[in-house]
Amino acid sequence: MGAQRPDSADATLTVPSLAELRRTTRSVRSAEHGPAVRRALRPRGLEGRGPLTLQLLVADREARLLWHSPDRVLMVCPPRSARTRRDVVTACLHVVNVLWPLVSWFTAPLAIGLTAVALALVRAPDVLVLLLVVVTMLWATGVMVLMAIREGADLVRMVSPRPVHRRRRMDDGLRVDHWSIALCHADPDTVGALLRDATALVDHLGDRYETVPDRLLLCRPDAVTTTAALEAVRRSATVRRVSGREVLVVHDVGRPVPRPAADPGPNGILVLLAAACSLLPMIAGMVAAAEREACATACTGGPVGYGDAVFWLLRHFVVLGIPGVAPSTGQSKALGLAMALLGLVIAARVVRVVRTRQREDDEEREGFVDDVARPYSTALVLVANDIERAAVLTAVATGEVTRLRSEHHTALDLGVVGRTRVVLGWTEQGIDTQGAATLTTDALIRWLAPDYVLIVGVGYGLREHAQEPGDLVVSSRVRSMNWRKEAPGRTIVRGELAVAPQRLLDRCRDAARDWSGPRPDFGLTLSLGVLVDSAEFRAGLLDLEPDAVCGDMELAGVQAACSKHKVDWIGIKGISDYGMGKTDGHQPLAARNAAEFLAHLVRTGNLDPL
């Protein structure tokens, strides 16, 4: 059953039977977010689809289903605008699935109507046949009224500027244009493998569908059945926001700046409708009074009654010049013409607003696709205390901050500045402990694959006569002071003396040219896992490295991890003390200056890809 699938690395991928698909449906329904997933798969109205078992069956026959067991399944959907060839059975199931609302609504009245025809042919009692015909007509009328109400509600959502309606329009537009994951039901440990299989599946199926082969695969949060699985999807995909709604992008090269939703302002439709509803009773009274005065009691055919006047005005409000009851006075005709013109104005306004909304949504979708296609660099910013973290958040965050989690670490996605995605991570103080800079940086590089790693925060100055609290130091070199040989009468430093990568050092020098804050000092930083608060110890450091201008506790660990992974690194430190008489009084100033220089470095495009 079903078309050929691409080879999967998981040998447990099988073709399910109908009974297994039913068990899958029951498993999805009983999941943590089962009701929300079901509502997403079966929206109300004419856009609804068939039962989940039917959807799974159609997806399986079209080779869009990755099924391992009832508790491990993923279903992808092609763009709604895509077309493909299907065999006869699959095509019939597809039509039933797509037209399920009409099938479910009109099956009963159709069956009753056919029963009435059959009874009429066998000469059943006329009363019974008439009763069945009346039931059929009432049922069909009720369904049509319900459809009209829902279509009217859809029209309201189409023209509405409310964020919830705009998000729904964007969701619909993204599903029209791109591949999407409609269902992800699996344990968190297996989600990553399922997403990789889904990516391969989309690449395999893309050539079968008549659509733009952008291979962009999206996943909405309401397609995932458990919170743990959703977190696993977030770790494997890229979290973006479109019109305030979270979208998980499986294929991605970066993360765009959330586009601020333009405020369309009031569209005037509700105001015009309110005006029409307010004017209608008064105008109807004026028309009825004028007609009664002109025609007295002998007049026939004119809207002399209040109800007749209301009905006549409503008809003119919708359609100008409809035949029927005609007034005899010029005043009534003029008032009817005014109502008709008001109706035309409202209709024209509705058309204009609908077209505007569609254009805005199209532009946002096109911008979303453009942002996906554009290359972005990723800058990992590391801090070591809460003051440094708050300073970076204030200086760099572009909008809503997204929390990212791996098995051992948490990071904050601060958004994109220019074409650089900024991610904030934190390390414990020191170099070589479990949560300190070396192991933390190594783990974050493996997880986030950044292009640059910058450690930003505070350090202690080693040139107190030339430095003020808040001055900046950019580490052009770093010496690891932890590895030393203590010989009689002398100390030999054996730690690595590393030079900052030329590209990132050059970018920092370029940013310093038009930086309005404290002038950065590009020099040697000493890094060791010691909290220095001793004039004697500090003097010993300068004896070992007379050219040093700054000291810290993490940079050597960051440098070691980055060198291992061949990632550019640099340190940006604000002077908060001088390694003696230490207080926290200048830490906020030093951290703020370092964070603002980082923001300037990013905003001037110095970290953007070439």
Q: What is the pLDDT of residue 591?
A: 95
- Residue 447: what are its φ and ψ, rounded to 5°? -80, -50
What six digits make up the tokens of 438? 């070396």
C-alpha triplet 582, 586, 592: angle, nearest 5° = 135
Distances (CA, A) of 301 to 285, 296, 315, 320: 17, 12, 16, 18
- Is the Cα torsion angle 130, 136, 139, 145 positive or negative in sign? negative
Q: What is the pLDDT of residue 168?
A: 61
Q: What is the pLDDT of residue 125?
A: 73
Amino acid letter, residue 166: R
- Report mean pLDDT in 10-residue bins for the chain, 610 residues: 48 74 93 90 74 91 90 87 81 85 74 76 72 73 67 62 59 66 90 84 72 64 89 76 65 39 47 66 73 62 72 66 63 72 69 66 57 72 94 85 86 86 92 89 91 94 90 93 81 85 94 91 92 89 90 93 94 93 89 94 88
| In contact, 432 and 529? CB cutoff 8 Å | yes
- Could you tell me which of 499, 474, 500 has the C-alpha nearest to residue 600? 474
Spatial separation of the C-alpha atoms in residues 442 and 449, rounded to whole Å: 10
Spatial separation of the C-alpha atoms in residues 247 and 590, rounded to whole Å: 37
Q: What is the DSSP letter of 398?
A: -
Q: What is the pLDDT of residue 362?
A: 62
Distances (CA, A) of 201 to 28, 206, 234, 469: 22, 8, 20, 58
Across 464-506, where does the E strand assignment appear? 472-480, 484-487, 490-493, 497-499
Q: What is the pLDDT of residue 30?
A: 92
C-alpha triplet 248, 424, 405: angle, nearest 5° = 50
Spatial separation of the C-alpha atoms in residues 118 and 129, rounded to whole Å: 9
Plot region of 605 (φ>0 → left; ψ -120 to 50 → alpha; else → beta)? left
Q: Bridge partners of 575?
A: 459
Q: What is the pTM of this model?
A: 0.47
- Could you tell me which of 317, 248, 262 has the C-alpha nearest to residue 284? 317
What six digits make up the tokens of 509? 């020098």
What six digits make up the tokens of 277? 């509803």
Strands 65-69 and 521-527: unpaired
